[in-house]
Amino acid sequence: MPAAPQQRPLMALAVRVAAVAMLATMMALVKLVAARGVSFVEIMFWRQFITVPLIIGFLMMTGALHRLKTARVSHHFRRAFLGLAGMAMTFGAAIMLPLAEAQALQFTAPLFATILSVFMLKERVGAWRLSALMLGFAGILIITQPGDVEIPPLGLVVGLGSAFAIALLSILIKDLNRSEEPLTIVFYFAAFTSPFLALGLPFVDMTHDTTTWALLATLGVCGLAGQILLTLALRLGPVSSVIVMDYTGLVWSTIYGILLFSEFPPAATWIGAPLIVIAGLLIVWREHALHKASSQADNILGR
């Protein structure tokens, strides 16, 4: 069993930003391959399956297969299938909605996570962090222009369901991080769900050109990198803080939406986006101040 994770809040925030960049790239690829006729089941399968040989191959080369040993199989199983449901909703929202809107709906996850972290992890959420969350959410409301933007009802429900799943998964992953390595958590997520998804492959068309196969492979690699970084971030910092960095996904979704799908965000995006950036910076500043104060207290007490 690995040692209890050391809390490094600033590092956690940086890792989460990198994770969001990888996952935003994956979401753009999901939308691309869906537009090329790849079935939903197959997209889900390749996203998961590629993870298994890559992790096993890496651990074999480093002589560290023992790192996959776990005494919490049932916890991994529960996380895996809740994660599969969350991933299905996340992919569905990206396919049904413009990337910016799909990403915006996921930004409600910090609010869900803050509530869940209080009740499930007994974390304290102070006025600064709560204010930052509310500021960021206000920016999202401006971007999505409630009542004006035509968002398909099903897409709205799926997008919000995805956000709640992200928040709940963050709590479960935080719990697993108490005893498991990030690589182990990611491996069992893929290992448990890949065989289940494979059952649907005989019923879909898997004839693709070289470009599509390359996109599917890249999708899987980006998903693996994003999941490892996401899990590591939750190992290094509190849920209600690191999840706020998901706001940076708006930058990536906007860029990919414009470049790949000619989806130009409305003017409201440029009003709401600064609020989101300010919220993220406020969290960074507050975490730095708290970590510095904690370190000084430890030094005084001789810890």
Q: What per-residue confidence (pLDDT) applies to 145?
A: 66
Query: How far is 15 from 279, CA to CA, in rounded Å?
Result: 17
Q: In whole angstroms, what is the distance from residue 199 CA to residue 243 CA?
A: 33
Secondary structure (DSSP) of 55-110: HHHHHHHTT-GGGG--S-HHHHHHHHHHHHHHHHHHHHHHHHS-HHHHHHHHTTHH
pLDDT given at position 163: 85
Tens digit of each residue's pLDDT (9 = 90 or more) over 150-191: 667 788 789 889 988 888 887 788 788 888 888 899 999 999
Residue 256 has pLDDT above 90, yes or no: yes
pLDDT in tens, 74-115: 999 999 999 999 999 999 999 998 888 888 787 777 667 767
What is the pLDDT, as a whole number, of residue 46? 96
pLDDT beyond 60 at 4? no
Provide the whole-model pTM: 0.78
Q: pLDDT tens for residues 127-141?
A: 777 787 788 778 777
Q: What is the pLDDT of residues 233-254, one digit of tens each?
A: 878 877 666 777 777 888 899 8
CA dist list (Å): 244 to 112, 184, 189, 249, 256 = 11, 25, 23, 10, 21
**Would you give the DSSP letter of residue 296?**
H
Residue 279 pLDDT grade (very low, low, confident, very high; cuts 50, 70, 90)? confident
Looking at the chain, how many residues does it have?
Answer: 303
The mean per-residue pLDDT over the stretch 9-19 comes to: 87
Average pLDDT over residues 255-265: 88
Q: How many whole angstroms separate alpha carbon 192 and alpha carbon 72?
A: 13
| Domain coordinates in residue numbering, the chain | 9-301
Residues near 66 by Cβ (< 8 Å), separated by ≥ 6?
none
Q: Looking at per-residue confidence, does 290 or 13 come out higher?
A: 13
Closest CA to 188 of 48, 19, 88: 48
21 vs 147, higher pLDDT:
21
Q: CA–CA separation, 74 vs 195, rounded Å?
A: 17
Task: Give residue-wise pLDDT tens across range 38-51.
Answer: 999 999 999 999 99
